[in-house]
Amino acid sequence: MDMKSTFESMVEDHGHWMLLRKAVLNKPCSCVGREGTILETCGLCNGSGHAYVDHLVRARRTKMIDSVQMTTDIGLVATPRWHFYLPANTQPTHKDWIIEIELSPTDQQPIYPIKAETYYNVTDVESMRELSGVLAFWDVQTEKSNWNV
């Protein structure tokens, strides 16, 4: 099997449903004023000024502790990074968010209306390709964050 097929069957078996909240390029949020002012506490855009569209995607999450460590008042702290492996057709960017949602405990399907549980801010995106150059999947690095809701 090629890398793309291997990824797709892995996500089918070991992934789960989540939202990819994609920023819509060149479309400002409704909170943005004529002079470009943004409502910092806006629950629609989280103070970014972008309009967003949510996509239900099946993906895989992996926790990684970055080798980057910081010395703080309480000692040496490693910042956990959460990597998500997203299908090739999602084209994530660093303006996007990933949101884990409530799933049914019996069949792991999304519960409607969809309820957000954990927000992840995308910090880095890498395309994972076959040797031939064909895009297999995306490796998206995130950190847990908050959304003003």
Confirm or reject binding of residue 3 to Zn ion (CB under 5 A): no
Pick one of 44, 99, 128, 135: the residue that binds Zn ion (CB under 5 A). Answer: 44
* Residue span binding Zn ion (CB under 5 A) among the ranges 41-49, 55-63, 82-90, 123-131: 41-49
- Three-state DSSP at 7 gives helix
Pick one of 23, 31, 51, 125: the residue that binds Zn ion (CB under 5 A). Answer: 31
- Three-state DSSP at 130 gives coil
Residue 138, both tokens: 């995306």
Cβ contacts of residue 105 below 8 Å, gap of 6+?
none
Answer for the pair 59, 85: CB distance below 8 angstroms, yes or no: yes
* Residue span binding Zn ion (CB under 5 A) among the ranges 4-12, 24-32, 98-106, 114-122: 24-32
**Of the two residues 37 and 123, which places its CB atom closer to Zn ion in the complex?**
37
Confirm or reject binding of residue 29 to Zn ion (CB under 5 A): yes
**Of the two residues 45 and 57, which places its CB atom closer to Zn ion in the complex?**
45
Residue 77, both tokens: 């702290």
- Integer Cα distance of 126 and 146 in angstroms: 23
Q: Give the residues lining the site for Zn ion (CB under 5 A).
A: 29, 31, 42, 44-45
